[in-house]
Structure 1
Amino acid sequence: MTDPNQSAAPVHEEPSSAPDPLMAHITYGLYAVGFLNGLTAIVGVVIAYVRRPDVKGTYLESHFTYLIRTFWMSLLYGIICTLLLIIGIGFILFFALAIWVIYRIVKGWIRLADAKPVDDPTSWI
């Protein structure tokens, strides 16, 4: 007879070889909300920096690199646009920056949804 107090041997499951894109989706979402408030994008870039080493060699690495680059380039361009507000062209450039940021978020998120890497994560577009 078996002892009812004894539990069955634990079942060990093999980890899935496919990387989990959940944190990348969350980061894209934080960037999208950050487009409106600015603050959640900071949380997103921190997540991207923390998670990128964990997904090295997978398609997700390109997404986190892309997100990090998007953050820093948009911050730089935002500073330049702010300085150019003095001569009036900053408003036009802010509009162009907004279109560029939206484009990068949508482009990257679509690639992520298709489980594909970003073609050139260090590109300007």
Structure 2
Amino acid sequence: MKSVLSLALLAVSAFAQNAAIGYPPQGLSVSPGSSLTVQVERPNTLSSTEEVAVVIGLQSCPGTPCIDPADFMGQILYNGPFNPQYQGPLGPPYQNFTVQIPSSIASGTALLGVAHVALIGAGFSPSLETLNRTITIS
């Protein structure tokens, strides 16, 4: 019984260290050349965490499967520091990034990828995670 509880706590602890895309919602339609707000959330963790960076990329994939951002980020829209903050009494800390959708991007399905880099734990071991959200270019 103790081992099951330990595994459950470990899984919850690992999940709590993950970032998430708060905005845009899945399937949002955006126009080429327009600005898009990308909200990256980072819930508090029980372990020490030092945020390093976020990279936001966009790949056009109309009519073909999109490639996982862990393998291909596409066109880089942002590459820089990440400093999530509480913006009110509800919700996790987050940071908004305003990015420009390339004016030359093809209409159809596109994949917004986020790479999040942090140092986690007492020894500050490196952590890299990738997130994605499918949007529509119209």
Identify the TM-score tier after normalising by the shorter chain.
Answer: under 0.3
Higher-RCO chain (CA-CA 8 Å, sequence separation at least 6): 2
TM-score, structure 1 as length reference:
0.27
Q: Which has the larger radius of gyration?
A: 1
TM-score, structure 2 as length reference:
0.26
* Structure ranking higher in helix proportion: 1
